[in-house]
């Protein structure tokens, strides 16, 4: 326990993980409560995107992508972690509020798969456990974009172009996967991209700049008082 306390003392950013105790029960309630009488998200473009079960692989890769980057940044780069945390927690809270006030869902999933293979089995298993409700905006897309942004802004990876390029490719595949396995509408994805752009500006630029300005003024005042 002393080692854990010492670790948390030096890595307070890990306390951001406590948000799971807010998000998990709230989302679980929405999943159980919103089963009928919800607005169906749909656009004509959704019908032009074919179902492709192979995209389930990058879809599931999201879990490792988000988890590995989040833990790595939390351990190695505290300042960037706080920015990432602000981005993720604010976006996820906005998602919960939207889902609570505007019940929504999809009717895009195929009734019959065009073929049977390992990937269609994975998609079928996912359909059984993940309801087609609470989809706007897509957190799968929003969080994936956030992880790529985090890698790009972290000074730890300043000159690691190959890692950033690989991250970009995986992030784009994850975004596309949500539409090709019919987990999200184009509208969900567009909304997630818009929210990501706004929250990038707020979490990674505006707030850090405001904090630096505040600390500079505070330091100036203290210096003046000492003189």
> Between 154 and 213, whose confidence is greater?
154
Categorize the per-residue pLDDT at 5 as very low, low, confident or very high, splitting at 50, 70 and 90.
low
Q: How far apart are CA 52 and CA 206, in angstroms?
A: 40
**Cα 118 off chain centre by:** 27
pLDDT recorded at residue 4: 61
Structural element, H or E, at residue 224: helix 207-226
Q: Are 172 and 146 in contact (CB under 8 A)?
A: no
Domain extent listing, the chain:
2-212
200-205 mean pLDDT: 95
Widest CA span in the chain: 78
**Smallest Cα–Cα separation from 147: which of 216, 203, 211?**
203
Residue range 175-189, pLDDT digits in tens: 999 999 999 999 999
Tokens found for residue 99: 């889902």
Predicted local distance difference test score (pLDDT) of residue 44: 96
| pLDDT above 70: residue 143 | yes
Residue 172 has pLDDT above 60, yes or no: yes
Higher pLDDT, 60 or 158: 60
- Assess whether pLDDT exceeds 60 at residue 66: yes
Beta strands in the chain (DSSP E): 39-40, 104-105
Confidence (pLDDT) at 1: 63
- Sign of the alpha-carbon dihedral angle for 128, 131, 175, 65: negative
168/145 Cα distance (integer angstroms): 9
């Amino acid at each position: 326990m002393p080692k854990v306390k010492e670790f948390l003392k030096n890595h307070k950013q890990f306390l951001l993980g406590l948000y799971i105790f807010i998000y998990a029960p709230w989302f679980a309630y929405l999943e159980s409560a919103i089963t009928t009488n919800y607005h169906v998200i749909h656009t004509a473009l959704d019908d032009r995107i074919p179902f492709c079960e192979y995209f389930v692989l990058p879809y599931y890769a999201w879990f490792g992508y988000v988890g590995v980057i989040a833990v790595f940044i939390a351990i190695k780069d505290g300042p960037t972690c706080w920015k990432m945390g602000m981005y993720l927690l604010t976006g996820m809270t906005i998602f919960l509020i939207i889902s609570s006030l505007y019940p929504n869902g999809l009717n895009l999933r195929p009734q019959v798969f065009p073929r049977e293979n390992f990937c269609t089995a994975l998609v079928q298993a996912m359909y059984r456990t993940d309801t087609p409700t609470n989809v706007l905006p897509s957190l799968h897309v929003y969080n994936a974009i956030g992880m790529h942004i985090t890698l790009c802004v972290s000074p730890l990876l300043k000159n690691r172009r190959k890692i950033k390029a690989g991250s970009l490719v995986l992030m784009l595949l994850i975004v596309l996967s949500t539409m090709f396995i019919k987990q999200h509408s184009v509208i969900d994805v567009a909304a997630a991209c818009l929210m990501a752009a706004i929250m990038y500006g707020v979490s990674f630029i505006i707030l850090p700049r405001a904090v630096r300005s505040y600390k500079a003024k505070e330091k100036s005042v203290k210096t003046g008082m000492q003189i």
